[in-house]
Amino acid sequence: MVKPKWEVECVIYDCDGVLFDSLDANSRLYNYIATSTERGPLTPDELWYCHTHTVYESITHLFKHDGKLEQKARDLLKTVNLGDFVVYLKMEPNLIKTLTELKERNIGRAISTNRTTSMKYIMERFKLDPYFEMVVTALDVKHPKPHPESVEKILTTLKYDREKTLYIGDSGVDRETALSSGVKFIAYKNKEIAEHGFIEDHLTLLDFLSGGEHSQE
């Protein structure tokens, strides 16, 4: 299948499931909170909800039937060292190579994530600051994803053309965020939500860009 070629000014990435395989880290964090409050371990559906929503939305969702346990979970969360769970993140293959190539082509790079305070630990541990111009977390906006505010904040601040911007995500929340923002959406490792394209490896993103393809070396 021939991929379309686009003139691209900026690529916006989701974090969980795109920059990193984070299911193990998220499972450890939320199961720790759940079992510590005697709620019991998460189901697969609950874990996926936590994967795509803010930590505060996730706590509300997990403890929606018990207000006292929800408050206990929120209090416990304040004592958790999120850096202890960041170590379980696994960076996706070829991410740094792709980001380096985008930077060399003068294509902007940003992150739009529903993570909160944990994002600073991630950026520090994996030394990602040089690769991104801007990171917008749920703490930086009034309305987290799928509301378009995070993408709008990136486009306005960095002055990129939305018609020349791609959003890379792995969930329906990401897809809705991109489409409501008027930017093209590329699905990562989740073909069911593909809108304008689909990739299984970060390097193949370069095949969508006008001006060249990725190296096979």
Q: pLDDT digits over 108-148, tens only? A: 999 999 999 999 999 999 999 999 999 999 999 999 999 99
Which band of pLDDT confidence, cut at 50, 70 and 90, is reported for residue 3? low
User: Residue 58: how many CB atoms within 10 A of its CB?
Assistant: 24
With CA atoms as reference, report the closest residue to 10 among 133, 141, 177. 133
Statement to judge: residues 99 and 169 lie in one domain: yes
Global pTM value? 0.90
162 bridge partner residues: none
Which CATH number belongs to the domain containing residue 134 in this structure?
Answer: 3.40.50.1000
Q: Is the pLDDT of residue 214 over 60?
A: no
Mean of per-residue pLDDT scores for the chain: 93
Q: pLDDT digits over 50-67, tens only? A: 988 999 999 999 998 888
Statement to judge: residues 183 and 117 lie in one domain: yes
91 bridge partner residues: 20
- DSSP structure class, residue 137: -
Instruction: Note down the domain range covering 82.
Output: 23-86
**What pLDDT, on a 0 to 100 scale, did the predictor assign at position 159?**
98
In total, how many domains does the chain have?
Answer: 2
Q: pLDDT digits over 67-102, tens only? A: 899 999 999 999 999 889 999 999 999 999 999 999
* DSSP run (H or E) holding 186: strand 184-188
Q: Is the pLDDT of residue 16 over 90?
A: yes
Q: Do the domain assignments include residue 76?
A: yes
Q: pLDDT digits over 187-202, tens only? A: 999 999 999 999 999 9
Q: Is the pLDDT of residue 216 over 70?
A: no
